Amino acid sequence: MSKTTRTTILRKPSKAELAALKEEAKFRFMNTAHGYNEYAYTDPKSGRGVSAWVEGAYIHETVVSVTDILRVYHQKLDEGYKIHELGIQPFFQAVQIYFYRPQEELDAELEKIYQRVTDEYNESIKVENDEIVERQVQLLLAAKEKREVQQKAVEQQQEAERIRVEVEAELRGLRQQVEESLGVAA
């Protein structure tokens, strides 16, 4: 295997690819509600929703009394929350006010997400490169085995030719006698 082949066959990390994965993870995070979600995941066998705690960028506050909307709104703003694009939405006899979590919380959570994405990306490259190395080993072993089989076939053919020459040399006189007795001119 040439040095060029060795350097180009393995997958190398790409900053652009990693940045795209981080951006996709950020997009999912920013569009996910924070808190307990009854349908967070789907059970692959039954197809039913599985409930779990989900880390997301925004929360909602349910306000039953219309007179409490401004109080809750100002209280959350004072705590560092920012109003979400969804704003205030009707919810049966109440309303829900959507807020982004405080920026410090979002930044800390995004750091964890970016680290997880980076770790998963690096692990996927490592696994893929391990598979490439194993595949290359198998190819080289198969090529070596094929060369050995071909070499053995050549050696067997040479051995057969050597034995043929010896046998013909030993039987040359006897063969001439048989041909003379048959009347075949040599």
Between 120 and 165, whose confidence is greater? 120
Q: What's the Cα-to-Cα distance from 99 to each of 26, 48, 64, 86, 96, rounded to whole Å?
A: 17, 29, 17, 8, 10
pLDDT at 4 over 80: no
Between 101 and 183, whose confidence is greater? 101
Arithmetic mean of pLDDT over the chain: 89
| Residue found under tokens 């082949």 | 5
pLDDT at 7 over 80: no
pTM of the model: 0.71
Query: d(Cα 71, Cα 94) in Å, to the nearest integer?
Result: 15
What local confidence, expressed as pLDDT, does residue 15 receive? Answer: 95
Model confidence pLDDT, tens digit, residues 10-58: 889 999 999 999 999 999 999 988 888 877 778 888 888 888 888 899 9
| Residue found under tokens 């410090």 | 104
Most confident segment among 34-43, 96-105, 173-182: 96-105
- What's the average model confidence in pLDDT over 167-171? 84
Q: How confident is the model at residue 170 (pLDDT cuts 50, 70, 90)?
A: confident
- Note the Cα 140 to chain centre separation in Å: 24
pLDDT at 184 over 70: no
What local confidence, expressed as pLDDT, does residue 118 receive? Answer: 97
Q: How confident is the model at residue 3 (pLDDT cuts 50, 70, 90)?
A: low
What local confidence, expressed as pLDDT, does residue 39 receive? Answer: 77
Residue percentage of the chain with pLDDT more than 90: 63
What local confidence, expressed as pLDDT, does residue 5 receive? Answer: 55
Between 30 and 180, whose confidence is greater? 30
